[in-house]
Chain A
Amino acid sequence: MKTSWKTMLAGALAAVLLTGCGSNAAESGGASSGAASGETVAAKAVTLKMFVAIPRFKQQFDQYVEQFKAKMKAEKNIDLTVQMEMPTADTAPQILKTRLASNDAPDIFSLHAINEIPSFYKAGYLADLSGQPFTDKLLDSVKSSVSIDGKIVAVPLETLSWGYLYNKAIFAEHGLTPPATLSEMKTLTETLQAKGVTPFLLSYSESWIPQLVLPLAAGALINTENPDFIDRMNRDEGSFQELKAMFDIFDLINANGTDRALEVGGDDGAAAFAQGKAAMWLQGPWYADTILKSDPDFNFGVAALPVNNNPDATMINLSTSTSLAVSPDSKNKEIAIEFINYVLDDNDSNAFYESLKFNPLATVHTFDSFSWVNDATEYVKQGKSYQDPVIPQAVKDEVGKGLQSYYAGQMTQDDVLNALDRAWKNYNKVNQ
């Protein structure tokens, strides 16, 4: 641990030194070329600080930034220098919050649309981007996730549409289709059991996986019969007893699942699912990469999880994660907004999003998406989708642990629900 800290520190220092060198070199280079050409109008030098917490896409981002620099030079005669910072997702929120609190905000920064926009907006850290050209290109299903108080405050990069995953080969073999209600799901599990197929894969050793049932159940119920649940919870007036129905589907899944659930983690689960050990898995398509690594030809789909017998409540969860926002205190706000618009550029955005393997989210995106994305898009087109409900992270942590204990038989349904109420109340107390 100590050594890794040292290495990281050394790495960070080296990076700082190197960026220092880089920008100096660029500036002096720009100055000398300006002096050499003499006659041409001296280019304006602008430095833009970016903070993007997805280091796995550094290559794609660097390339896109280069394209943007060339565009700025050609169109506005601006020598743009970009200081790109790409911390890992674990540490990024801490670093970013410290920066913002100490008045050292990056011009452009990434944040999680659903989880972070409300608190950042309230603290006044997000510039209003409404009316910018990019906003007209956004698909309606995405637009609301980056809007708050009727203002658009970020450009979305990564979107997720999810419910559960199912093995298309097993479903085809037995002539099954994803069920629309809870009782249809029950029949389906009985059919599968009768044919000797385990219906559900369970992987509960990491608490965030059982946790997934809460956003799905809460989302379905909030968007059908309980629309003001989140508001009332935030005012300490609601109770999770209202969402007790989520145990109906959770119990059904557990009763028809694989063994040793509490010893299987996400990666093991992905491997087992790819081997066809079960027909369905409560998981999002973000595991696609891992599943396809086990079996590149594996054919799976995304379907909406039924939570009760109302077929209208069986909907896909739409979530927007990484998005880019502009700091209102930015000294180069115009250029920063220029870049935000360039993210959804008519010519270049399509190739950019395709290279990132993100889902299409604007009218300018015409590339072919994966089959599981198309599955989910079918639901969205029928209007069977909702925005991921805004549940505090502390409550999500609690529900994961609670459902683990519930599965292990250590907590009753009421114990879990009370623990969740308590967690949300504590959250309210801390974040007044």
Chain B
Amino acid sequence: MSIKTNKSVWRLLAFVAPAFALYAISLLIPTIGGMYYSFTDWNGLKRTYGFIGFANFVDALTDDPDFVRSLWFTMKYVLYMVVLQNVIALLLAAFIETRRKSKAFFRTLFFMPNMISTIISAFIWTFVFTQVLPQLAERTMLTFLDQSWIGDPRVSFYSILIVSLWNGVGYMMIIYLAAMQGVPKSLQEAATIDGAGPFQTFVRVTLPMIAHALTICFFLTLNGAFKVFEAVYGLTGGGPGRSTQVITMNIYEEAFSNNFLYGYASAKSIILFVIVLIFTFLQIRVMKKREVEA
């Protein structure tokens, strides 16, 4: 018996091996390397570098106002994104579920932006924000459209949100749709017979039944929002100044454009990694408890 289990374990490992080898080479080893470099003052070129313990981490958190500011900006972005992306995706999914014939049409329509890469959609929207909307405002008297969409730091936060949502909502919507289709019709019918309206059915039956999808979607949006880069890079480049700089962009700037402080930038990446780890861990623990089986 034990020989047999051993054999099947080995067989399973053999199946995993190719993927794991790739994963290890392209992700695991660099990650460990990054962790190592975060304790050094390596500048990317020097063949000698010193081991400086936690100095990089201390510097980043206490002596780097730009990093801390970008951290708060990212937090704000994450909060808005997690809430809005999931609410909008849920609403869209619920709306599509009510359609009979046009289901496939709307599903495709709302999923379409997700097929465009984020950086491209950022460039498309740059054109919309700088050319189309001001012109539209001029011709139609809708003066509220005439904003400095990507030039004014107060407005550009919302521009970044709009583009990220436009690009990301479709994917979450598909996950919710799939989950909703797995909710047994009998439960919904029973609720209707008991006198529940459509809203009550949604909140009391559908939502608890798709809790596992909520967990996944919250995980994905939380994780993705912390690592946002392209949307901001394409729209504002972090500017004007550093007013819309997110953490990833701050790390990129530190490593590749100023003084080539690779070690310091690695330390910042590790900080980001730890933050994402803590947040997603908490989120999964809380939400896993609420899941129910049909």
- Report A's interface with B, CB cutoff 8 A: 94, 97-98, 101, 204-207, 260-264, 393-394, 397-398, 401-402, 404-408, 410-411, 423, 426-427, 430-431
In the assembled complex, the Cα of A262 lies from the Cα of B243 at a distance in Å of: 12
Find out whether the CB atom of A408 lies under 8 angstroms from the CB atom of B151.
yes
Pair B152/A262 contact, Cβ less than 8 Å: yes
Q: In the complex, what residues of B have CB within 8 A of residue A101's CB? A: 45-47
Offer 19 A-B interface pairs, CB within 8 angstroms, sorted by A.
Answer: A94-B44, A94-B45, A98-B45, A101-B45, A101-B47, A205-B151, A205-B237, A260-B148, A260-B151, A263-B129, A263-B130, A264-B130, A404-B239, A405-B242, A407-B240, A408-B153, A408-B240, A411-B241, A423-B258
The interface bits of chain B over 30-70 (1 if a CB of A lies within 8 angstroms of the residue's CB, else 0) are 00000000000001111100000000000000000000000
CB <8 Å contact, A410 and B243: yes
Residue-wise interface mask of B (255-268) relative to A, using a CB-CB cutoff of 8 A (1 in contact, 0 not): 00111010000000
A residues within 8 A CB of B258?
393-394, 397-398, 423
> From DSSP, what is the main secondary structure of chain A's interface residues?
helix
Instruction: Report the 6 A-B pairs with minimum CB-CB distance, sorted nearest first.
Output: A405-B241, A262-B151, A404-B240, A394-B258, A408-B240, A263-B151
> How distant is the Cα of A192 from the Cα of B242 in the complex, in angstroms?
34
B150 at the interface (CB under 8 A from A): yes
B44 neighbours in A (Cβ, 8 Å):
94
Give the complex CA separation of A408 and B156 in angstroms: 12
Q: Is the CB of A262 within 8 A of B43?
A: no
Identity of the chain B residue whose Cβ is nearest the Cβ of A100 in the assembled complex: B45
Contact of B257 with A405 in the complex, beta carbons under 8 Å: no
> A416 — nearest CB in chain B belongs to which residue?
B241
CB-based contact A427/B259 at 8 Å: yes
Point out the residues of chain A lying under 8 angstroms from B239, CB to CB: 205, 207, 262, 401, 404
Q: Is the interface of B mostly helix, strand, loop or mixed?
A: loop
**Distance of A376 Cα from B213 Cα, bound (Å):** 66
In the assembled complex, how far is the CB of residue B184 from the closest CB belonging to chain A, in whole angstroms?
41
Is A401 a contact of B242 with CB atoms below 8 Å? yes
Chain B residues near A205 (CB-CB < 8 A): 150-151, 237, 239
Complex-state Cα separation, A423 to B65, whole angstroms: 13
Measured CB to CB, the residues of B under 8 A from A are 43-47, 129-130, 134, 148-153, 237, 239-243, 253, 257-259, 261
A-B contact count (CB 8 A): 72
Inter-chain CA distance A408–B240, complex, in Å, is 7
Q: Does the CB pair A401–B148 fall under 8 Å?
A: no
Assembled-state Cα–Cα distance A431/B41 (Å): 12
Q: A207-B237, A207-B239, A405-B242 are in contact. List 10 more A-B contacts (CB 8 A).
A: A97-B45, A205-B237, A206-B237, A260-B148, A260-B151, A262-B150, A262-B151, A408-B151, A408-B152, A410-B241
Q: How far is the CB of A101 from chain B (nearest CB, A)?
A: 6
Given A260-B130, A263-B148, the answer on whether A404 and B259 have CB atoms closer than 8 Å is: no
B130: nearest chain-A partner, CB-CB: A263
Give CA–CA (A423, B259) in the complex, Å.
10
Contact B240 A410 (CB under 8 A): yes
Q: Determine how close the nearest CB of chain B comes to the CB of A272; give it in whole angstroms.
A: 12
Chain B residues within 8 Å of A264, by CB: 130
Note all chain B residues with C-beta closer than 8 A to A393.
257-258
Question: In the complex, what's the smallest C-beta–C-beta distance from A411 to chain B, in angstroms?
Answer: 7
A263→B152 CA distance, assembly (Å): 9
Residues of B within 8 A of A401 (CB): 239, 241-242
Give the residue among B45, B241, B258, B261 with the most A Cβ atoms within 10 A: B241
For the complex formed, measure the closest distance between the CB of A381 and the CB atoms of chain B, giving whole angstroms: 38
Contacts of A411 in B (CB 8 A): 241
Q: Tell me, rounded to whole Å, the shortest Cβ–Cβ distance linking A354 to chain B.
A: 35
Whether the pair A430, B259 counts as a contact (CB closer than 8 A) is yes
Rounded to whole angstroms, the CA-CA distance of A265 and B130 in the bound complex is 11
User: Chain B: which residue is nearest A427 at the CB level?
Assistant: B259
- Max chain B Cβ within 10 angstroms of own Cβ: one of A98, A401, A407, A410: A401
Q: Which residue of B lies closest to A90 (CB)?
A: B256
Give bound CA distance, A101 to B45, whole Å: 7
**Contact between chains at B243 and A408 (CB < 8 Å):** yes
